[in-house]
Amino acid sequence: MKTPAIPGGVMVRLKQSTAPMHDSLEALPAMRRLVDPALTRADYHELLRRFYRANVACEHHLLRRASVWEDLGYDWSSRLVKTAWLEDDLRHLDPAFAPTPFTPDPGFVPYAGEGLARAAGCLYVLEGSTLGSRMIVKLLDQAQQRPAAGANRFFQGYGPATGERWSRLGRELEVSLGGDEEALGRAVLAAGETYRFLGRILADP
């Protein structure tokens, strides 16, 4: 049975509840280096490899659970394309790049547990990155060495459709989780775990 919702809306609650984890991720040296005007092509290449490792794991984890949203008619699988975007960029930076077959590892997952709410929490984090990416593209273009020239597909996100796709996800999460405090709590937990998972990969030496 659904319990009374705390005012604020699902997306607002997710943002407020995960703000410390989001801020910790943004404060990592790797993320600060990404927007450094002195960023080199080699540094950028290394950062994309880390983003690739993170997104491969997250998208595979979610795709193995696609039935939880497909049963509701949500087209969330079409959002799990960031690995492909990164592959395009990495091939441009290194023509010899070849994707490594992904092998699921129970000890290397973005979040624990099953169900729609937890998948929604993880997806919230991945999709939220497309909002900040629009500013990152501008900063990369302004960097002294233009390290991302020809290799910024990942940070382009959905382009002009980014805002609309984010709003649509918000509406879907409101329908699925709004008014259900227990489900929303699971989504918040998974979102926080996902932020920490991304942080571990980006903080690797």
Whether pTM exceeds 0.75: yes
Q: Is the model's pLDDT at 3 over the cut of 50?
A: no
- For the four alpha carbons of 119, 122, 125 and 126, in that order, the dihedral sign comes to negative
Is 68 part of a structural domain of the chain?
A: yes
Query: Is pLDDT above 50 for 2?
Result: no
What is the pLDDT, as a whole number, of residue 83? 97
7, pLDDT greater than 80: no
Instruction: Pull the structure tokens for residue 174.
Output: 């409101």
User: Over pLDDT 90: what percentage of the chain?
Assistant: 90
Q: Does residue 4 register a pLDDT over 70?
A: no
Q: Please report, for the domain that includes residue 69, its CATH number.
A: 1.20.910.10
Mean per-residue pLDDT of the chain: 93
Residue 169 within any structural domain of the chain: yes
Share of the chain above pLDDT 70, in %: 96
Q: Structural domain of residue 73, as residue ranges?
A: 10-98+106-203
69, two tokens: 């949203």
Residue 182 or 4, more confident = 182
Interatomic CA distance for residues 74 and 109, integer angstroms:
23
Domains of the chain: total:
1
- Residue-wise pLDDT for 108-121, tens only, equals 999 999 999 999 99
* Per-residue pLDDT at 132: 87
For the cut 80, the answer to whether the pLDDT of residue 204 exceeds it is: no
| 157 within domain boundaries | yes
pLDDT of residue 74: 97
> Which candidate, 137, 103, 118, places its Cα nearest to that of 186?
118
User: Does residue 3 form part of some domain?
Assistant: no
User: Has residue 164 been placed in a domain?
Assistant: yes
**Residue 5: inside a domain, yes or no?**
no
46 found inside a domain: yes
Residue 191 falls inside a structural domain: yes
Task: Please tell me whether residue 150 adopts helix, strand or coil conformation.
Answer: coil
- pLDDT the model gives residue 205: 61
Tell me the pLDDT band of 5, cut-offs 50, 70 and 90. very low
141-185 pLDDT tens trace: 999 999 999 999 999 999 999 999 999 999 999 999 999 999 999
pLDDT at 1: 36
CB 82 within 8 A of CB 48: no
